[in-house]
Amino acid sequence: MRAIIQRVTAASCVVDGNTTGSIDNGFLVLLGIEDADTLEDLIWLSQKIINMRIFGDEDGMMNKSLSDVDGNILLISQFTLFAAVKKGNRPGFTRAARPEFAIPMYEEMIRQLSTQLDKNIQTGIFGADMKISLLNDGPVTIIIDTKNKE
């Protein structure tokens, strides 16, 4: 499982002209799921996201988490995070999980994040052509891969 976390002052997702999710202060999280992912990976990653201390404190140091700043999450499914680009110029996506596996994992990630943050999680629509807007704060962008936990 891979996640790109972007600290934002605003982010939104639009599908077919309709806003499906919108946040102010918080994280835009792009989430890629592969067949090798487990519930253990999902729980580990959700805890990392919730507890990531990348918001400034009173001294301007990155010491505060989402909970500390009453932040929100916009979670977007992003199979292209598993693009293979070693050969040729057209990416391959064989490592990305098929929808029958990825959708339940994505839905479980929404539940885990919502429970841990004690807030509704804003989302896109799995598999849709989404238009994402964001105002990156910092900019601060963190990449996490559950296969590199150690």
* Catalytic residue annotation: 80
- The span from the CA of 124 to the CA of 25, in Å, is 17
Q: Which among 112, 139, 115, 106 has a CA at the least distance from the CA of 11?
A: 139
- Alpha-carbon dihedral 134, 127, 82, 138, rounded to 10 degrees: 10
- Cis omega before residue 139 (within 30°)? yes
Please choose, from the candidates 71, 77, 81, the residue with its C-alpha nearest in 3D space to the C-alpha of residue 10. 71
CA distance 18 to 146: 32
